[in-house]
Amino acid sequence: MTISRTVNRYLSGGFAPVTEEVTALDLPVTGRIPAHLDGRYLRTGPNAFGVEDPAAHLWTLGDGMVHGVRIRDGRAEWYRNRWVRSSSVADRLGEPRRGTPVDPRMDMAPNVQVAGLDGRTFALLEGGIRPYELGYELDTVGPCDLGATPEGYSANAHSISDPHTRELHSLAFLYGSEHVQHIVMDGTGAVTRTTLIHTPGSPYMHDFALTERHVVLFDGPVVFSAAERATGIPFVWDGSHQARVGVMPRAGGAVRWFEVAAGLVGHTLNAYDDGTDVVIDVVRHPAGFDIKDVGLSRPTLDRWRIDLAAGKVREDRLDDRVQDFPRVGSRYVGRPYRYGYAAAAELYAPPTAPGDPRPHEGFSSALLKHDLVRGTTEAHEFGRFGAVGEGVFVPAESPAAEDDGYVMAYAHDAERGAADLVILSAQDFTGEPVARIHLPVRIPLGLHGNWVPGGPRGDRP
């Protein structure tokens, strides 16, 4: 199935772009914001700024817009949404360009991830498109060289921060190249080590995984196609391309490849070493899904256990529910863990009543909490029109257990016709939210984000 040529779901309902940038101060709150929270909840996603052919529009190509809420002392101080000012966005806004892109042909407003590092904020994409740096209040500084290497690679949208070593790891690809590069950065973003890895067939490697001793790579049947480049998404499903998972020492070296069933790893929940085994939990898309309309896919949560001594892989299904955007508490990245979080990710149909103003096309109306020890899943349902995005785990002030903390996400409030930043207790996952921060506007369904602790430099002694 392909996107309708008459009605484009990604320009309507829960996906519909917003048309204005808003600043709102002293946001109203229902419930109580945990007093220790001091920082910003940030999330980005495609927000198309002018569409020439709505019927042919691809959601993932929309200009990046970042939505953020500043929290401190039990208050929600502000909400801001800002387009990332790539050259084309700045031109359309009639504003001066922010800096000069390395390659104007590869200049795009990053729309996949927004993250903080060493007091700075970055909007990230992939495929060699450089990150953009943002100011604390989400204004665009300009394109930057985070993770940039002489070979033309730079930090990828799914870079992984190791909380124990303070290293930032990235697995970067270039469109059409038969290599990817593992890039290691220090806590300031300076590149300290790189490894170039041969990947025949130019596979699309959107995400990867990290353990204490290994880097894990996913080579699947979605591959680069020069013929498809004009469509905006230059990838196709190639059934002849064997799906593989690769394991490489973190310090670099040879990659050991293991064949797995056909499918595409969209996102990684977590991975860890277990003796001579490597355990990897992933959201995997089924064979043959439409890469240009990923919202119609039905990804599930799977586990691969690689026995390095025996050279074998065991594949298991952890949860059948259609889901995506898996997250783990940052303290457990690359380590054995028990709990993971995800968003239900199944498209639901529009209402029959014409003119219904509520968001009615979306991919998520629930957040999930997986207990991987007990093999159980809890769901916090947001209702038919909830349109909830990725959930981010934030630990309590002095956590006594792995799930002692909160899950934060933007969710649509159908009664208000606007979004809330919802804060759930991870230990009372199905109960009433600890707090709902009421935003003045709707937030479209988007992609990834983070809780970024702390204020701007010089904010406090």
Spans of all domains in the chain: 9-338
pLDDT of residue 357: 47
Phi (first) and psi of residue 295, to 5 degrees = -60, -20
Contact 98, 36 (CB under 8 A): no
pLDDT of residue 226: 85
Measured distance CA(57)–CA(460) in Å, rounded: 45
With vertex at residue 291, the alpha carbon angle to CA 285 and CA 297, rounded to the nearest 5 degrees, is 40
Measured distance CA(390)–CA(30) in Å, rounded: 21
The HSE-up count of residue 41 (CA atoms within 13 Å, CB side) is: 27
pLDDT of residue 460: 47
Spatial CA neighbour of 313 closest among 376, 242, 249: 242
What is the sign, positive or negative, of the torsion defined by CA atoms of 43, 149, 246, 309? Answer: negative
pLDDT of residue 358: 47
pLDDT of residue 461: 34
Positions of the chain with pLDDT under 70: 1-7, 347-363, 457-461
Coil vs helix vs strand at 52: coil
Contact 176, 226 (CB under 8 A): yes
Spatial CA neighbour of 21 closest among 63, 54, 57, 61: 63
Measured distance CA(407)–CA(369) in Å, rounded: 10
pLDDT of residue 267: 96
Q: Does domain 9-338 have CATH number 3.40.50?
A: no
Contact 410, 389 (CB under 8 A): yes
